[in-house]
C-alpha cells in the first residue's frame, strides 16, 4: 500500500529530518509512529500526503511513485488520504456539519450524497447531536472527532493522524482511539504519529520508532520502551 524506498528528507537549513528510510505498510494495517519531538514523525506523515517532497528516494502508494505527480494528480491522491492533526484544523466560522460537508463540497460531490454522507459520519464519530454547533462550542475531544469525520467522510483508503490525542486528556484520547480502531477495522490503513505511551502499549499494534530521522525499531504488536 505505502512503501518508502531509501527516502531521505533534508530541509533547506540542512536539518536531516529522515535518513534512508525503507518501510512497507500493507493495506489495512494500523501503524504507530513513535519517537521524541524532532525524530521525524511529522515529516514521515507529511511526505505521504505530499505536503513535503522527499530529498532522495521514492515513495510508492498502491505501487505507484508519487514523487513526480502532476498538480491535478496530487489533489486526487489527497482525496484518497484523510488527515487529522493535533490542532484539529477546523474552520471556526461554520458548524460541525458544514466543516464535514466542506470536504465533500471541495471534492465536488453532488448535494444529495453530501446530505446523506455527513450525518452518517457524524453518527459514527458520536457527534450526531452536535451537527449545528460551532467548533468553538465543542470540547477538544469533540473537535477531534469532527476533524476525523471530515477526514473519512469520502471513505479514503488511508487515514493519517499526526498526534491526534496530543491535546486531549487520557479518557477523551481513548474515545478517539476507539474511533480510529473502528475505522481501521472497516479496512482503512491508519498511520498515527504519537507520544502517548499508554495508548501504544495497550493497543499493541505495529510500531515504528524513529530516532534522529532513522528507523530504530519496527515491530508487530510493539510496545513503547523507556529509552525512546
Residues that bind other proteins (CB under 8 A): 49, 51, 71-72, 75-80, 83, 89, 91, 102-103, 105-108, 110-111, 150-151, 154
User: Minimum Å distance from CB 183 to other proteins?
Assistant: 16
In degrees and rounded to multiples of 5, residue 58 shows phi and psi of: -120, 145
Query: Quick one: 73 or 169, whose CB is closer to other proteins?
Result: 73
Residue 59 or 196: which CB sits closer to other proteins?
Answer: 59
Task: Report in angstroms how near the CB of residue 123 gets to other proteins at its nearest.
Answer: 20
Choose between 114 and 199: whose C-beta lies nearer to other proteins. Answer: 114
Nearer to other proteins, 32 or 49 (CB): 49
Nearer CB in complex with other proteins: 49/224 = 49
**Smallest separation, CB 217 to other proteins (Å):** 30
Assess contact for 73 and 64: CB atoms under 8 A.
no
Q: How far is the CB of 145 from other proteins (least distance, A)?
A: 16
Q: Let me know: does 121 contact 151? Beta carbons within 8 Å.
A: no
Q: How far is the CB of 120 from other proteins (least distance, A)?
A: 17
Q: Which residue has the cell 533534508?
A: 10
Nearer to other proteins, 68 or 72 (CB): 72
Q: Shortest approach of other proteins to residue 180 CB, angstroms?
A: 18
Amino acid at each position: 500500500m505505502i512503501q518508502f524506498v531509501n527516502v531521505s528528507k533534508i530541509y533547506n537549513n540542512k536539518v536531516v529530518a529522515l535518513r534512508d528510510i525503507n518501510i512497507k505498510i500493507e493495506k489495512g494495517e494500523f501503524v504507530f509512529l513513535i519517537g521524541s519531538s524532532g525524530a521525524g514523525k511529522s515529516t514521515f506523515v507529511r511526505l505521504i500526503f505530499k505536503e513535503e517532497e522527499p530529498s532522495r528516494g521514492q515513495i510508492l502508494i498502491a505501487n505507484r511513485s508519487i514523487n513526480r505527480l502532476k498538480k491535478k494528480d496530487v489533489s486526487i491522491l489527497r482525496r484518497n488520504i484523510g488527515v487529522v492533526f493535533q490542532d484539529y484544523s477546523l474552520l471556526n466560522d461554520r458548524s460541525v456539519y458544514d466543516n464535514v460537508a466542506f470536504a465533500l463540497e471541495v471534492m465536488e460531490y453532488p448535494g444529495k450524497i453530501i446530505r446523506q454522507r455527513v450525518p452518517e459520519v457524524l453518527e459514527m464519530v458520536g457527534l450526531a447531536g452536535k451537527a449545528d454547533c460551532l467548533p468553538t462550542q465543542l470540547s477538544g475531544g469533540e473537535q477531534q472527532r469532527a476533524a476525523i469525520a471530515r477526514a473519512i467522510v469520502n471513505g479514503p483508503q488511508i487515514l493519517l493522524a499526526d498526534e491526534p490525542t496530543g491535546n486531549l486528556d487520557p479518557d477523551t484520547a481513548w474515545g478517539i482511539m476507539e474511533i480510529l480502531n473502528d475505522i481501521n477495522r472497516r479496512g482503512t490503513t491508519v498511520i498515527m504519529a504519537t507520544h502517548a505511551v499508554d495508548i501504544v502499549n495497550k493497543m499493541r499494534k505495529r510500531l515504528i520508532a524513529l530516532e534522529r530521522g532513522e528507523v530504530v525499531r519496527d515491530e508487530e504488536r510493539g510496545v513503547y520502551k523507556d529509552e525512546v
